[in-house]
Amino acid sequence: MRKIYILLTLCCALIACKKNNVDFTFSPEAPRAGESVSFSNQSETGEDWEWTFGDGTKSTIKSPTHVYKRPGDYVVMLKVDNKSSWTKTAKITVYDTVPTFVASDSTFRIFRDYTFSANLYNPYNYSVEYQWIFPQVSEYFVTTSYLNESSVKGYFTKAMEAAPIKLRLIFNGDTTFIEKTFKVQDEPAHSLLIRTAEADYRQRIFGERAEEYKVDASAKYWLDWEQDTMQIYNGKEFLLSELQLIFPELRGFHIANRKIYFRAEGLWVAHIDGSDAVLIDGLECSAMTLDTQDSRIYWANAQGIWYMPFVGSDNNRFVTDMVQLNSLSGVTKLAIDYEQK
């Protein structure tokens, strides 16, 4: 019995070792598109080999060679004896013989983050200088990183059929200019509608970013309909006159998540029964509205329009800071348009 136990133990040890010996290397380490790459199988055991090269091609040769037609990052996997646990993966970066740059996506929409990266064959670490060029940058592209690095990050601010992006490379003393154009599509979004004595405006909101506010005649319908003197919440009617018995200075209100947000001497939040009132903004509040789908409150004071997420704590204390959306003054009414414009 002891001999059988020892044999089983040895078999298990051999199997465990076999599971951990799948390995390979490749050369050159920085290949170019069109260049032959040699893969050396370093696995100690095995009889069947399955290579996947990350570009849709495969091989069953023990130590194959492969040519990548296009630059980019590829994940190579070697599977031994058709067992999913006997695998090894490695990433290989294939460079373009001619310097170029690639984008993090193939479809572009406004106000989403994208990265543009230089693709440069530089196995000997020659000196490289990068200069990203965005004509009319303030009009359609905002960068969120430095323009003198190998990659640049940013977002488009308006839809365009052809948005040009350029890269100037000084590589080992030689200067190369690369230019590509990208189609940028519009993005559906909620709109904040704004009324002043001069005009009605629309400002589309994209998460933490927003378009510039623009005069929009179509905002009139929603702004005319908007009011903050009466609301039905959970089947109960709340009136301004009744709430003024609790808050005499109250001038307008909205209710959400069993909390009442109201304009008085500033902007306040309280429980729906009027308890635990907390001041959000001490400046005179001229208008306010709630975006119940995005869980935000928007309000206007003399400095402009502000927003913050609904207060979620039981004691109505704040867990986030108020953020200024714009500096538009003289606002008399706010509303939300959920139409995907």
d(CA 334, CA 341): 17
Statement to judge: residues 154 and 246 lie in one domain: no
- Does some domain include residue 218? yes
- Does some domain include residue 10? no
Domain count, the chain: 3
Share of the chain above pLDDT 70, in %: 91
pLDDT at 241 > cutoff 70 = yes
Share of the chain above pLDDT 90, in %: 65
d(CA 210, CA 329): 18
Residue 8: which pLDDT band, with cuts at 50, 70 and 90?
very low
Statement to judge: residues 331 and 227 lie in one domain: yes
d(CA 237, CA 256): 14
Residue 1: which pLDDT band, with cuts at 50, 70 and 90?
very low
d(CA 161, CA 128): 32
d(CA 63, CA 325): 60
Statement to judge: residues 171 and 246 lie in one domain: no
Residue that has been written with the tokens 């301004």 in this structure? 240
Average pLDDT, the chain: 88
Statement to judge: residues 132 and 41 lie in one domain: no
Statement to judge: residues 208 and 303 lie in one domain: yes
Domain that holds residue 221: 190-337
Give the pairing type, strands 209-210 and 200-206.
Answer: antiparallel
pLDDT at 261 > cutoff 50 = yes
d(CA 145, CA 132): 11
219 with 202: CB under 8 angstroms? yes
Query: What SS3 state is found at 295?
Result: coil
Give the ranges where the chain is alpha helix by DSSP (H): 2-19, 137-140, 220-225, 240-243
Model confidence pLDDT, tens digit, residues 70-126: 888 999 999 998 887 789 999 999 998 888 999 988 889 999 999 999 988 888 888
Q: What is the DSSP letter of 285?
A: P
* Residue 278 dihedral angles phi and psi, to the nearest 5°: -130, 135
Statement to judge: residues 317 and 230 lie in one domain: yes
- Does some domain include residue 13? no
Domain with 33 in it: what CATH number? 2.60.40.10
What's the token pair of residue 142?
A: 């905002």
Statement to judge: residues 123 and 204 lie in one domain: no
**Which of 185, 200, 234 is at the close of a domain?**
185
pLDDT at 249 > cutoff 60 = yes
d(CA 218, CA 185): 22
Q: What's the N-to-C CA distance of the chain in angstroms?
A: 78
Report the DSSP beta bridge partners of residue 141.
156
- Does some domain include residue 59? yes
d(CA 225, CA 111): 30
Mean pLDDT computed over 135-141 = 66
Model confidence pLDDT, tens digit, residues 166-188: 999 999 888 999 999 999 999 99
What's the token pair of residue 336?
A: 């939300």
- Does some domain include residue 307? yes
- Does some domain include residue 213? yes
Statement to judge: residues 132 and 255 lie in one domain: no
Domain with 173 in it: what CATH number? 2.60.40.1080
What's the token pair of residue 323?
A: 């953020």
Statement to judge: residues 309 and 268 lie in one domain: yes
- Does some domain include residue 208? yes
Statement to judge: residues 130 and 243 lie in one domain: no
Statement to judge: residues 126 and 47 lie in one domain: no
Statement to judge: residues 177 and 155 lie in one domain: yes
The pLDDT value recorded for residue 6 is 41
337 with 202: CB under 8 angstroms? yes
The candidate with the shortest Cα–Cα distance to 288, out of 255, 321, 244, 318, is 255
**Which of 185, 207, 240 is at the close of a domain?**
185
Length of the chain: 341
d(CA 129, CA 316): 52
Q: pTM for this structure? A: 0.73
Query: What SS3 state is found at 56?
Result: coil
pLDDT greater at residue 19 or residue 219:
219
Residues 6+ positions from 140 with CB-CB distance below 8 Å: 134, 156, 157, 158, 160, 163, 184
Cβ atoms within 10 Å of 139's Cβ, excluding its own: 12
